[in-house]
């Protein structure tokens, strides 16, 4: 019987100054202080991480970044290393988000190197994959997502693979208000688990697979009923502490 962690991660994208982040943290902690059966992660902009470290210390909320460099350290102007993230108490990092792939030219190879580096320093990668609308309409979504998973993860040892989280994020559902049906989310998350099984064997049963794409307080409950959907990566609906708190409570009926 699978014993998977359930995870709800917020992705603030390029929103919130330091003082806005601090204000959010105070309100959010009040909302989620009684949540015990879910891992809650806030993936904030780099500039807010240090302030959030202080606000979230000893709380149930984990801290994550939205990107990191594949290099360890060195002459990489403008980049942030995994060790720097650990230093501000990050334990998670989103890698391969479609906005980074589409707008900043990140390739499967870049993402594979970033996943390796994150694992090497002890961060948990939240590895994102997902198809665009054209691929879905052409019936090529499953093959596309399988290739993304294979290229990013096939070079990683079985032991390290056990430490990742995968987020299935169909691009047509991100920030559009269109959510994949819970059946579609389940189908792709089960496919991803099949690909992970080919890579790491039965240990894939313990890898949390999240759905992301216009998740809200109103639809999280239905998504969480699906056997292979272990949580959500939430963009827009994570920006307000009260409504994100409500979403988390709806994901974790007590």
Active site residue ranges: 97, 169
Q: How far apart are CA 120 and CA 114, in angstroms?
A: 10
Residue closest to ligand PEP when measured from CB atoms: 235
| Spatial CB neighbours of 78, under 8 Å, sequence gap ≥ 6 | none
Least separation, in Å, of the C-beta of 75 and ligand PEP?
A: 31
b/e 107-117 (16+ beta carbons within 10 angstroms → b): ebebbbbbbbb
Rule CB under 6 A: which residues touch ligand PEP?
A: 11, 13, 169, 174-175, 212-215, 233-237
Q: How far apart are CA 148 and CA 46, in angstroms?
A: 26
Identify which of residues 235 and 245 has a Cβ nearer to ligand PEP in the complex.
235
Least separation, in Å, of the C-beta of 231 and ligand PEP?
A: 12
b/e 159-188 (16+ beta carbons within 10 angstroms → b): ebbeebbbbbbbbbbbeeeebbebebbbbb
Identify which of residues 200 and 241 has a Cβ nearer to ligand PEP in the complex.
241
Least separation, in Å, of the C-beta of 38 and ligand PEP?
A: 17
Identify which of residues 67 and 214 has a Cβ nearer to ligand PEP in the complex.
214
């Amino acid at each position: 019987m699978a014993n998977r962690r359930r995870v709800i991660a917020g992705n603030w994208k390029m929103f919130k100054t330091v003082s806005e982040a601090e204000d959010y943290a105070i309100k959010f902690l009040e909302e989620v202080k009684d949540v015990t059966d879910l891992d809650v992660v806030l993936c904030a902009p780099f500039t807010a991480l240090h302030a959030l470290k202080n606000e979230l210390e000893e709380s149930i909320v984990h801290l994550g970044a939205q990107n990191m460099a594949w290099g360890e350290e060195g002459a990489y102007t403008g980049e942030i290393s995994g060790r720097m993230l650990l230093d501000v108490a990050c334990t998670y990092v989103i890698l391969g988000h479609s906005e980074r792939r589409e707008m900043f030219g990140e390739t499967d190879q870049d993402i594979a190197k970033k996943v390796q580096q994150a694992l090497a320093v002890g961060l948990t990668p939240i590895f994102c994959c997902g198809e665009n609308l054209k691929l879905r309409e052409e019936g090529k979504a499953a093959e596309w997502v399988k290739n993304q998973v294979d290229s990013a993860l096939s070079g990683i040892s079985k032991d390290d693979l056990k430490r990742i989280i995968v987020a299935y994020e169909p691009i047509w559902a991100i920030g559009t208000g269109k959510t994949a049906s819970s059946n579609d989310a389940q189908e792709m998350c089960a496919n991803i688990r099949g690909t992970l099984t080919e890579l790491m064997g039965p240990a894939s049963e313990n890898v949390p697979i999240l759905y992301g794409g216009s998740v809200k307080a109103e639809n999280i409950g239905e998504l969480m009923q699906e056997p292979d959907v272990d949580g959500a990566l939430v963009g827009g609906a994570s920006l307000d502490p009260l409504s994100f708190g409500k979403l988390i409570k709806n994901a974790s009926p007590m």
